[in-house]
Chains A and B, each alone.
Chain A
């Protein structure tokens, strides 16, 4: 079952613009994580936000979490061509005690130079 649903499925912007991706989920979570995947490669962890946190920053990344709406957003500021990749949200359900994650379908971001 897919817990996370990303929106939009695809996004195309110009270099220097900001990119915002959204994720919705269904059940209570311990934390929500964002990952990045370059074409044909493995996933790389970007940021983790716990259920008692509302906002987190890491470099040009800003993640928000609204547990009442069961949603999260990832903002990439001042995008670069190298940010072109697929981005996935993943939730760690409260029902899990083993670090299991449930991934969404991803947002494909294209940043045009």
Chain B
């Protein structure tokens, strides 16, 4: 079974802090994704990566950056957390080709105060 793990289930940070969210997958997938989920807005893609050190902006990249130094690990970085970044963050992975589903981690609920 594919396993996608996220470093924290719940996280509380202060405005202005630098925040790291970590995601690890164990199935050698090329693609990894970061989404945020907000009520009434569904899932919105922040960034995705299709290979080590390769990344592309999603629909809402502002205020975020990412890092993928190893194939199994994809990190989301909030350079200076703000209250409007309070959200549920979901990581996912998939094989490269288009006809595969994405496998999701359990999510990190981040609160910025």
Contacts and interface: CB of A to CB of B under 8 A. Distances in A.
Nearest to A97: B98
A99 B96 contact: yes
B81 interface: no
Contact of B99 (A30, A45, A103): A30
A42 B106 CA distance: 4
A61 interface: no
Interface string A1-45: 110000000000000000000000000001101010000111111
Interface residues of B, number: 32
Contacts of A30: 98-99
A66 B106 CA distance: 32
Contact of B94 (A99, A102, A103): A99
Contacts, number: 69
A105 B98 contact: no
Interface string B37-63: 000111111001010000010010000
Interface string A79-104: 00000000010101000111111111
B15 interface: no
A112 interface: no
Contact of A99 (B4, B59, B98): B98
A98 B98 CA distance: 6
Interface of B: 4, 31, 33, 35, 40-45, 48, 50, 56, 59, 88, 90, 92, 94-107, 109
Interface of A: 1-2, 30-31, 33, 35, 40-45, 48, 50, 88, 90, 92, 96-106
